[in-house]
């Protein structure tokens, strides 16, 4: 894993001068060692490479050079795949530079989508693994022109949930040409072999990292830090995290603290904020952030109040309970060095680039949801992702990352396990029924009819051991046939119409089966029953149910005035899913009935980000259920589901459906208009002054124009 530290001057690149100009414009004069190494290994000649190196070591530029040189030489299109929407967005902005020399760049993902047909006009497409998988299933013509794939953050192969999709995308990408990028992994040679690529492994980082462990000294209020290079340091205070945070702040460094639960992230942030009077802050800049925070509509008022009091002291917390808008604001404030400390859950470990001089990893344990009372030590990969955030290029000479342990006895073990070890090897995650069945369905959808042998060969191209493939393959075929997702046509397997629909909707086959059974066995039912059915599927949103809450839900179950579409399960785990689904259904019902957001958040004890995610998932599932019911000719259900889908999406009663078509008009504004007698598009156009009065001059103007445009389109 060593390599000479060679820096190649940009001018030495065998690339056209206009390409070199663009790189130079970014202020880059020399390629850093990993970049140099990649070029020496034939990156520009289109050689297949697997590049493993720490985050922030300049992999994006390697991908850019790979793509551009490939496209210049071979024409066609290239696709850059990432595991996160936020990364897709980030890379899109970077790749935009290449439009200057004529390459058209687009991005497409679940939340920011370019129509499939339009993508044919672009040369470089940035997307997520799931979206690419989905695109392949839809088989657009232009996808055949794509001959170069960049697979970013390929270590997501190891993610139990997402890994199978990464793996199936990789199988098809490696039939063409690819460049794979990954965080450092231990079995990179094996993975490179699988990819048919040459490994390029480096540990080089733009800012050196020093890792350490902090533990309490016998003497109270004193903490000792031991670093990898055997240097030590002492800090004082009531709490290791706070003591070290303040120490770093006193030297003008920013701090990123990781905690293992949301509540701890919040309370740690609050504690740190109490000491911030000793830190010099840019008050004006902070009040600017507070002003922006006030303008964010997406967010609960409790969250916003708490964040405001923290941010005014230069501190913030960050976890997925917060809406995207709030998280973006916090990240940006930190990037601009106005916010000095962020206390986060693992949201910030992976994903967008947000380095800090000091990283404090507060917990190496994490509660295990599956086995009650059981605790896991976090994976080494996750530790490395967190510690790797230490050291910000341009601001810090060195990054420091420390792990908090309980006492001196733990120091050695933690040092050995986390600081000095290789990360876990990457293994196939296709070895589960859910993953494997979905995998086969996806292949048939993308490839069309295949013989058993052909289909099997696809599976053998995976990372899964052959014996396991054999086990799962037969079971999968049998199940898919029995449940009529696939059928036999001559010597081949083909998708049924139902199976094709399921593949296109991108829902899990088990989800589809549950929906089908639920709908076929019942007459049209109440909204709550549909929501409950969908929330109960494996694709349904997760939500935590408290103990008291569970009792209330069970009670409510007894005097429900509508019949649910799922039979009450006897098995304990299934039953708790059943109750969880009921909670999701109730939340969605309140949302659709226009219950105020703050009320929903406190009533169900969730954050604005949770609500958003839930709505997004249920929007997708109600849409899917609508289409499945059409496919199955269950028209009564279909009628109900169509309305349900529209109401879930916007969180509105049926009467507002027309008004929310206007962009810029959501549940709140539509209700305001409606209650003032503006009930349909025509009313908006006929009463422009009233609309402007209600919504404000500028917005009102836009809304009236938009309504007129919509009306015209209908006639």
Partner DNA sequence: GGCGCTGCAATATAGACAGCATGTC
Partner DNA sequence: CTATATTGCAGCGCC
For residues 449 and 493, is the Cβ–Cβ distance under 8 A?
A: yes
Q: Is 438 annotated as a binding residue?
A: no
- Rounded to a whole number of angstroms, the minimum distance from the CB of residue 486 to DNA is 19
Q: Please state the φ and ψ torsions of residue 210, each to the nearest 5 degrees.
A: -120, 125
Please report how close the Cβ of residue 42 comes to DNA at its closest, in angstroms.
30
604 binds DNA, rule: CB under 7 A: no
Q: How far is the CB of 87 from DNA (least distance, A)?
A: 8
Among 10, 40, 76, 114, binds DNA (CB under 7 A): 114
Contact residue for DNA among 200, 201, 264, 273 (CB under 7 A): 264
d(C-alpha 483, C-alpha 183), whole Å: 40
**Beta strand extents in 325-414 (DSSP E only):** 341-344, 358-361, 365-367, 375-377, 399-404
> For the sheet containing 146-151, what is the strand order?
105-108, 124-128, 77-82, 146-151, 177-182, 49-52, 198-201
Q: Which of 57, 128, 358, 385 binds DNA (CB under 7 A)?
A: 128
Residue 416: CB partners within 8 Å, gap ≥ 6?
none
Closest CA to 130 of 84, 184, 69: 84
**CA atoms within 13 A of residue 684's CA, in its CB half-sphere:** 30
Nearer to DNA, 368 or 451 (CB): 368
**How many whole angstroms separate alpha carbon 319 and alpha carbon 338?**
19
Hey, is 391 helix, strand or coil? coil
Among residues 487 and 649, whose Cβ is nearest to DNA? 649
Closest CB 15 distance from DNA, rounded Å: 23
Choosing from 59, 77, 91, 131, the residue that interacts with DNA (CB under 7 A) is 131
Q: What is the DSSP track for 208-231? A: -EEEEEEEE-SSTTEEEEEETTS-
Q: Of 609-648, which residues contact DNA (CB under 7 A)? A: 613, 616-617, 619-620, 623-624, 645
429 lines the binding site for DNA (CB under 7 A): no
In the complex, minimum distance from the CB of residue 29 to DNA, in angstroms, rounded to a whole number: 29
β-strand 177-182 against 49-52: which pairing, if any?
parallel
In sign, the C-alpha dihedral spanning 2, 394, 319, 252 is positive
Task: Give the whole-angstrom CA distance, residue 654 versus residue 648.
Answer: 10
- Residue closer to DNA by CB (options 113, 563) is 113
Q: Does 460 help bind DNA (rule: CB under 7 A)?
A: no
Distance separating alpha carbons of residues 128 and 139, to the nearest angstrom: 17
Query: Does residue 127 have a known ligand-binding role?
Result: no
Q: What residue spans of 111-239 are helical by DSSP H? A: 129-138, 163-173, 188-195
- Residue 196, marked binder: no
Q: Is 105 helix (H, G, I), strand (E, B) or coil?
A: strand
The token duo for 671 is: 């209700």
547 binds DNA (CB under 7 A): yes
Q: CA neighbours within 13 Å on the CB side: how many for 79?
A: 29
CB of 670 to DNA, least distance (A): 17
Task: Extract the tokens encoding 400.
Answer: 């420091």
Task: Identify which of residues 44 and 132 has a Cβ nearer to DNA in the complex.
Answer: 132
Give, as one character, the DSSP assignment of residue 196.
T
Q: Closest approach of Cβ 677 to DNA, in Å?
A: 26
3-state secondary structure of 458: helix
Q: Are strands 341-344 and 315-318 parallel, antiparallel or unpaired?
A: parallel
For residue 490, the 8-state DSSP code is T
Q: How near is the Cβ of 162 to DNA at its closest, in Å?
A: 6
If one asks whether residue 257 binds DNA (CB under 7 A), the answer comes out as no
Rounded CA-CA distance 366/382 in Å is 12
- Is 554 a binding residue for DNA by CB under 7 A? The answer is no
Q: Contact region for DNA (CB under 7 A) — 292-300, 465-473, 503-511, 576-584?
A: 503-511
Q: How far is the CB of 240 from DNA (least distance, A)?
A: 9
Which of the residues 640 through 699 are near DNA (CB under 7 A)?
645, 649
59 annotated as ligand-binding: yes
Stretch 54-93 residues interacting with DNA (CB under 7 A): 83-86
Among 506, 530, 578, 604, binds DNA (CB under 7 A): 506
Q: Scanning residues 348 to 407, which ones bind DNA (CB under 7 A)?
A: 351, 363, 365-369, 372-377, 382, 406
Residue closer to DNA (CB basis): 39 or 582:
582
**57 annotated as ligand-binding:** yes
Asked if 189 interacts with DNA (CB under 7 A), we say no
Residue 285 binds DNA, judged by CB under 7 A: no
Shortest spacing between CB 381 and DNA, in angstroms: 10
* Cβ distance to DNA smaller for residue 320 or 708: 320
Binding residues: 35, 53-60
Binding residues for ATP: 35, 53-60
């Amino acid at each position: 894993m060593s390599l000479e530290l060679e820096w190649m001057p940009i001018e030495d690149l065998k690339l056209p001068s206009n390409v070199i100009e663009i790189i130079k414009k970014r202020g880059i004069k020399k390629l850093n060692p990993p970049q140099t190494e990649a070029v020496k290994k034939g990156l520009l000649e289109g050689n297949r490479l697997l590049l493993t190196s720490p985050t922030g070591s300049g992999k994006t530029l390697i991908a850019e050079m790979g793509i551009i040189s490939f496209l210049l030489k071979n024409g066609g299109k290239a696709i850059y795949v990432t595991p996160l929407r936020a990364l897709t967005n980030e890379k899109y902005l970077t790749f935009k530079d290449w439009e200057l020399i004529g390459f058209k760049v687009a991005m497409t993902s679940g939340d920011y989508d370019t129509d499939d047909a339009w993508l044919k006009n672009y040369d470089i497409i940035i997307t997520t693994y799931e979206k690419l998988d989905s695109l392949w299933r839809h088989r657009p013509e232009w996808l055949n022109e794509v001959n170069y794939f960049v697979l970013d953050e390929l270590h997501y192969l190891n993610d139990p949930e997402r890994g199978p999709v990464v793996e199936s995308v990789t199988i098809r990408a490696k039939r063409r040409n690819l460049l794979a990028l990954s965080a450092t992994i231990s079995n990179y040679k094996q993975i490179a072999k699988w990819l048919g690529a040459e490994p390029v492994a480096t540990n080089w980082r733009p800012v050196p990292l020093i890792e350490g462990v902090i533990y309490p000294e016998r003497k109270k209020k004193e903490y000792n830090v031991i670093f990898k290079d055997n240097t030590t340091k002492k800090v004082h205070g009531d709490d290791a995290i706070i003591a070290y945070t303040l120490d770093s702040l006193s030297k003008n460094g920013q701090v990123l603290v990781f905690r293992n639960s949301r509540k701890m992230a919040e309370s740690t942030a609050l504690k740190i904020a109490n000491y911030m009077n000793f830190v010099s802050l840019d008050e004006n800049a902070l009040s600017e952030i507070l002003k922006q925070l006030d303008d964010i509509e997406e967010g609960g008022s409790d969250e916003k109040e708490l964040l405001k009091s923290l941010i005014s002291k230069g501190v913030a917390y960050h976890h997925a309970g917060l809406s995207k808008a709030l998280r973006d604001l916090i990240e940006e404030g930190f990037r601009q060095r106005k916010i000095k400390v962020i206390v986060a859950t693992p949201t910030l470990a992976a994903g967008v680039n947000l380095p800090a001089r000091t990283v404090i990893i507060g917990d190496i344990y994490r509660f295990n949801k599956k086995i009650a009372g059981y605790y896991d030590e976090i994976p080494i990969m996750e530790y490395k992702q967190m510690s790797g955030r230490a050291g910000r290029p341009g601001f810090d000479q060195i990054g420091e990352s420390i792990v908090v342990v309980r006492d001196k006895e733990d120091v050695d073990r933690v040092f050995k396990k986390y600081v000095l070890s290789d990360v876990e090897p990457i293994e196939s995650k296709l070895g589960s029924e859910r993953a494997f069945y979905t995998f086969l369905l996806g292949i048939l959808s993308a490839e069309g009819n295949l013989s058993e042998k052909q289909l099997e060969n696809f599976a053998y191209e995976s990372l899964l051991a052959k014996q396991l493939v054999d086990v799962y393959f037969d079971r999968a075929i049998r199940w898919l046939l029995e449940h009529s997702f696939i059928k036999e046509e001559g010597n081949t397997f083909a998708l049924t119409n139902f199976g094709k629909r399921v593949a296109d909707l991108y829902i899990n086959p088990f989800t589809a089966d549950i929906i089908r059974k639920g709908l076929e066995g019942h007459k049209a039912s109440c909204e709550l029953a549909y929501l409950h059915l969908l929330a109960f599927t494996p694709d349904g949103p997760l939500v935590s149910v408290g103990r008291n809450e569970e009792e209330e839900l069970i009670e409510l179950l007894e005097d429900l005035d509508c019949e649910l579409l799922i039979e009450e399960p006897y098995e304990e785990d299934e039953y708790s899913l059943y109750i969880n689904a009921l909670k999701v259904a109730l939340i969605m019902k309140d949302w659709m009935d226009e219950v105020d957001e703050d009320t929903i958040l406190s009533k169900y004890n969730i954050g604005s980000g949770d609500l958003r995610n839930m709505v997004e998932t249920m929007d997708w599932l109600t849409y899917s259920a609508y289409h499945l019911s059409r496919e199955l000719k269950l028209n009564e259900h279909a009628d109900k589901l169509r309305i349900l889908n529209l109401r879930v999406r916007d969180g509105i009663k049926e009467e507002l459906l027309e008004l929310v078509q206007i962009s810029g008009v959501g549940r709140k504004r539509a209700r305001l208009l409606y209650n003032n007698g503006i009930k349909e598009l025509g009313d908006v156009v006929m009463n422009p002054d009233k609309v402007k009065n209600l919504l404000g001059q500028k917005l009102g103007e836009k809304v009236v124009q938009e309504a007129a445009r919509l009306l015209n389109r209908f006639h």
